[in-house]
Structure 1
Amino acid sequence: MEYALLQDNGGSNAPSYAAITKLEHWPEQPQGREQSLVSQLQTTLEIQQQLNIVSMAAGKLLPLAWLQVHTAVGDFIASGSKAAIYEHRSMLILNQQCLAELVYQSDSAFTPMLQRELLQLETEWLFALRNALVVSRLQQMALKDTLTGLGNRRFFDDSLNKAVQLAKRYDDSCGLMLLDLDNFKQVNDIAGHSTGDELLIAVANTMRDTLRITDSVFRFGGDEFAILLSAADTASAELIARRLLKTINQIALCQKYQVTVSIGLALLQPDQSLAQLFTAADQALYQAKNAGKSKLRIAL
């Protein structure tokens, strides 16, 4: 289920950061439990934390077993949720804009009186949730490539740093693949940039479908991509790389314009720094490009 959180035509409906921080954007609430809940919700702009706060409040009204929220920026489940017999769904709407859908589950029936009580809780959440959704959306936009939806260079730098730190801390392994499309420039020259964009989107979708759920793919810009492989050894990493070579070559647009991919692969060594890992993968990619089209080279 998708919801229109922000309008892209000028962003007129999206509050600014300044608007988010002004207290006058919060409606006045009566004293007591209502004010306490609103105050708690104002302490965080994390959707997951807000959901946990609402779940605790709802748990005081009935033996709540499950609470989930569906939003345009993702689905979130309250901590400790377990499936139950009875279910109640509610749409969260603010200023004629659908923010999210809440899904409650309980071993007790949702009577009309309980539904009215839950509606009051939801009303108190609306402004905090709206602000959290705006911030989450802005964060996603800052870390995503707008054409392909893949992580951008900024997101890659942060993810690579975390992956290397975790691998060293837990004596684990990780791998880095750098990819560059062969003959891509001629697509823009022959068919135009719109066709080039279609090809890049097709390549991005193919990589998503080919990689494991634990791997992450990023677009540097142009026709350059990077992939972080978690818990990878040489054999499994090479298998993934060769599978990518095959699947990308089979894309219809790639075949039409004779576009292939070159890949440089490096696995983190015990004595390597983040910069050294990247340099190793980059040098392997350079060797693959020099060896011809549709080649894989592995850093030794």
Structure 2
Amino acid sequence: MESIPNKEYSYNGTKSPIFTVFSNEPLLSTKDKLFTLETLQKSLDLKEIMENFASLVASFIRPFNIRFQSAFGFFSLSKSLPSNFTRNFNLDSADHSPRLGTMTYQSETPITATEDKLLAELHQLLQPTLKHALRFSELSSMVYKDHLTNIGNRAYYEETIFHAIEQSNRTNLGLSLMVLDINKFKPINDTYGHTKGDQVLNAFAQVLTKSIRTSDFVFRLGGDEFVVILQPSASCSVSKVQQRILQEIDKNSLLKELDFSASYGFSHWEIGTTASQLFDQADQHLYQNKALDRAQR
């Protein structure tokens, strides 16, 4: 089919004629494809790969607010652009294995047919490196998972809160920390045994996981102590999560049967606050709430 030439389109420092989608010819030149592959293959770290990919998209097309989400990795890059239009792409693996994840683009204006085709070509170049990076993330996550509840452990928390503070420093995203522990957990163990105690820990971990967004994180630090990182976060975020936690507890038959309850404390990150200070503030708030709860009983 004959292609219809459109206006000159500049990407990667060179001007190339862009054709409408009536053409099956690729829009990226061989040189551009090689440059893209070399850029993407510099690292197996998901964050670095996605940052490099976002730079390529901005160079070849235009800047977008970009978000990637999968079972073994999450990435979000905000260019502070108006998000009037959203376009999702499902990234499938070439060998028909489970889907790699979903890429979301937000912009002020809709994505054109030409831009859509360019993104599809860039995704094809991204997928092999992305597959290896996600596999690497999957293997790494085993080191960071709590063996009982299958959520993040203390090591993963310490790494994640460091990166969350770093990101808030760069982007002014709100960041909140919730510290939670189970009320009267020792009597549960003493009365029903440690097997029942483990079931309660698992059930509460599931409650927390169901109560947060995909951009948030939940961890078990040890014993019956849990932590939730909320990012981005506004002043009302903690109360919304707390309401969802109460609703999920009420839905859980095991926890409801045991008249289960948990206490929580929270803190909001401010410029200059360290990870340990943020935790101490939330932990202090937790014990204030526990003391208040005991006084009211």
Give the structure 1 partner of residue 105 of structure 2.
none
Residue deviations 1:80-137, cap 9 Å, x none? xx999xxxx99869xxxx9999xxxxxxxxxxxxxxxxxxxxxxxx9x9998777444
**Aligned AA (1:239):** K
Change in Cα spacing, 1:189 to 1:138, as seen in structure 2 (3 Å) is same
How do residues 200-239 of structure 1 correspond to structure 2 at under 5 angstroms? 200-229=201-230, 230-233=232-235, 235-239=236-240
Give the structure 2 partner of residue 148 of structure 1.
149
Please give the secondary structure, in 1, of the residue aligned with 2:152: coil
Give the structure 1 partner of residue 112 of structure 2.
none
Q: Distance in 1 between matches of 2:253 and 2:44?
A: 43
Q: Give the CA deviation at 1:44.
A: 5.8
Give the structure 1 partner of residue 18 of structure 2.
none
Q: Give the CA deviation at 1:215.
A: 1.6
Change in Cα spacing, 1:250 to 1:131, as seen in structure 2 (3 Å) is closer
**Aligned AA (2:146):** D
Q: Distance in 1 between matches of 2:225 and 2:138?
A: 25
Residue deviations 1:8-35, cap 9 Å, x none? xxxxxxxxxxxxxxxxxxxxxxxxxxxx
**Aligned AA (1:244):** I
Give the structure 1 partner of residue 182 of structure 2.
181
Q: Give the CA deviation at 1:188.
A: 2.0
Q: Distance in 1 between matches of 2:88 and 2:172?
A: 37
Q: Give the CA deviation at 1:248.
A: 2.4
Give the structure 2 partner of residue 255 of structure 1.
256
Q: Give the CA deviation at 1:220.
A: 0.7
Q: Distance in 2 between matches of 1:275 and 1:171?
A: 20
Give the structure 1 partner of residue 165 of structure 2.
164
Which range moved further: 187-196 or 219-228?
187-196
Tell me how many residue pairs correspond in the alignment. Answer: 226
How do residues 59-208 of structure 1 correspond to structure 2 at under 5 angstroms? 135-208=136-209
Change in Cα spacing, 1:216 to 1:136, as seen in structure 2 (3 Å) is closer
Identical-pair percentage: 33
Q: Give the CA deviation at 1:142.
A: 0.8
**Aligned AA (1:170):** T
Change in Cα spacing, 1:276 to 1:257, as seen in structure 2 (3 Å) is same
2:289 is equivalent to residue 288 of structure 1: yes
Whether the aligned pair in 2 keeps the contact of 1:249 and 1:261 (CA below 8 Å) is no
Q: Distance in 2 between matches of 1:253 and 1:138?
A: 32
Please give the secondary structure, in 1, of the residue aligned with 2:293: coil
Q: Give the CA deviation at 1:203.
A: 1.3
Whether the aligned pair in 1 keeps the contact of 2:93 and 2:131 (CA below 8 Å) is no
Change in Cα spacing, 1:243 to 1:290, as seen in structure 2 (3 Å) is same
Please give the secondary structure, in 1, of the residue aligned with 2:150: coil
Residue deviations 1:163-199, cap 9 Å, x none? 1222232233211100000112222222222222222
Change in Cα spacing, 1:225 to 1:157, as seen in structure 2 (3 Å) is same
Whether the aligned pair in 1 keeps the contact of 2:179 and 2:227 (CA below 8 Å) is yes
Please give the secondary structure, in 2, of the residue aligned with 1:272: coil
Whether the aligned pair in 2 keeps the contact of 1:249 and 1:260 (CA below 8 Å) is no
TM-score by length of 1: 0.55
Give the structure 2 partner of residue 269 of structure 1.
270
Q: Which runs of 5+ in 2 are unaligned?
A: 1-37, 54-69, 75-86, 101-127
